[in-house]
A and B are shown apart, each in its own frame.
Chain A
Amino acid sequence: MADKVHITVVVNGVEHHHEVEPRLLLVHYLRETLGLTGTHVGCDTSQCGACTVHLDGQAVKSCTMFAVQADGCSITTIEGLGSPGSLHPVQEGFWEMHGLQCGFCTPGMIMAAVDLLNKNPNPSEAEIRHALEGNYCRCTGYHNIVRAVQYAADKMAGKVAMAADD
């Protein structure tokens, strides 16, 4: 077996140290070593986006990088985004707008959407669709997913709360 490599990563705010085989993919490190199974393996060929996590603030496909490449990095997975009692606005948007059916693509879809809103808080519908090109949903179609992201953008801009007050 190839020599193991020591890595230090911060995942959802917690520092981890592990000796890993170089060929261990980041997604398997997250799911099997750390037990964070919210990040999904979909196509395993860099296309579907179900494995999307944030690496130093950028959305990446965790099936297309090795855990050793994340050494020294800070990672956020779906588990680090919100909690059942306090959902992230994008999670709330998927809930409110019924942005999922089977839910398999949802963690990656949400991580990609959060990445978009971090960079562009007020995206057009075309910009939302362009930003989600790397995330495949095979059951609902994308209409409600786009509405969920729009809901989140409004919520983060304070517009949803204002509407509720009316």
Chain B
Amino acid sequence: MYTAEFAYKKATSVAEAIQLLQQHPEAKLLAGGHSLIPAMKLRLAAPPALIDISKVAELRGVRREGDTLVVGAMTTYRELETSDLLKAHCPLIPQAVYHIGDPMVRAKGTIGGSLAHADPAADLPASMLALGAKMKIQGPSGARVVEADQFFTGMFSTALQEGEILTEIHLPIRPGARMAYAKFPHPASRSAVVGVAVVVDGTEVRAAVTGAGEHAMRLTKLEQALAGKPLTTENISAACQGLLAPDHLNHDLVASREYRAHLVDVMAKRALMQAAGL
């Protein structure tokens, strides 16, 4: 399959990418391309220009700045999976990434590409919400930082405005926190029918779900039910019941609204049991 014609521009810096976006306002940014290129091949997208930012050096890699891990938006899944810094301070990310797609997808796909695309079935948005990540966004008028809770705004929609680029993901280091991701994969695509990420930090429980609704969201009912309580099998089982009403959930050939609501309870319980070491 061939895509529609487009002009190809390769950016070598963030500043150049922002400039190119101003010159080509209808252009799309090309990261790993594993959502955009399939959409272009099916002619669901036909941008007149692509601005390739995948090789911008300042957008790649994981580094520590004080009590924050700074992840460049063009860091690939493979790099996240094998990052010693993430394994040591934020094991939720390598664990979630291990189950994304397959090795070839993970070699090309990037964290920033996935978050900016905001596919409702993408894995990482749930982890971003559970961790309390912050998104650094750069545009023609400078940089701003958006909390993960304000970043995902709808199906394939984020807080990114025209001309802006997601450049960094800031993950708070939570010493001693226990974290886990449980996912029910789509039988063919391996994307998340439902995926739940949990972070247990002292007596605080943070949990978020992806795949269930229009965009990833916090499971506030679960967080409140477990706040301050010991993570016992009884408490977890009691809390993981009826977490989301089926009415507004996604439904497709693989899972009805009611089944998705059921999966949210099951995946939340699995993630919590794993985080609690039960």
A residues lining the B interface (CB < 8 Å): 1-3, 5, 21-23, 25, 44-47, 49, 52, 55, 58-61, 64-66, 68-69, 71, 112, 115-116, 131, 133-135
A23 touching B6 by the CB < 8 A rule?
yes
User: A69–B1 Cα gap in the complex (Å)?
Assistant: 17
Contacts of A59 in B (CB 8 A): 103-104, 107
CB contacts (< 8 Å) of B104 on chain A: these are: 49, 52, 59-61, 112, 134
Interface-side segment among B34-42, B133-141, B214-222, B248-256: B34-42
User: Is there an interface contact between B105 and A46, defined as CB atoms closer than 8 Å?
Assistant: yes
Q: Is the CB of B105 within 8 A of A5?
A: no
Would you give the shortest CB distance from B109 to chain A, in whole angstroms?
10
The reply to whether A2 and B6 contact each other, CB–CB distance below 8 Å, is: yes
* Neighbouring B residues of A25 by C-beta, 8 Å: 2
Could you tell me which B residues sit within 8 Å of A by CB distance? 1-8, 10, 30, 33-34, 37-38, 41-42, 50, 52, 54, 78, 101-105, 107-108, 188-190
| A134 adjacent to B5 (CB under 8 Å) | no
CA–CA, A65 to B30, complex, Å? 10
Contacting residues, chain B, for A45 (C-beta < 8 A):
38, 41-42
Pick from A2, A64, A134: contact of B37, CB under 8 Å? A64
A5 touches B8 (CB 8 A): yes
Which B residues are in CB contact (< 8 Å) with A134?
101-105
- New A-B contacts (18) at CB < 8 Å, excluding given A45-B38, A46-B34: A3-B7, A21-B5, A22-B5, A22-B8, A23-B2, A23-B5, A25-B2, A44-B1, A46-B37, A47-B189, A58-B78, A59-B107, A60-B107, A61-B108, A64-B108, A65-B33, A66-B8, A115-B103
Cα-based distance from A69 to B30 in the complex (angstroms): 10
How many angstroms between the C-alpha atoms of A54 and B7 in the bound complex? 26
Whole-angstrom distance from the CB of B74 to the nearest CB of chain A?
A: 13
Interfacial chain A residues near B189, Cβ < 8 Å = 47
Measured in the bound complex, the distance between the Cα atoms of B104 and A131 in whole Å is: 9
* Residue from the set B2, B50, B101, B103 with the largest chain A CB neighbour count within 10 Å: B103
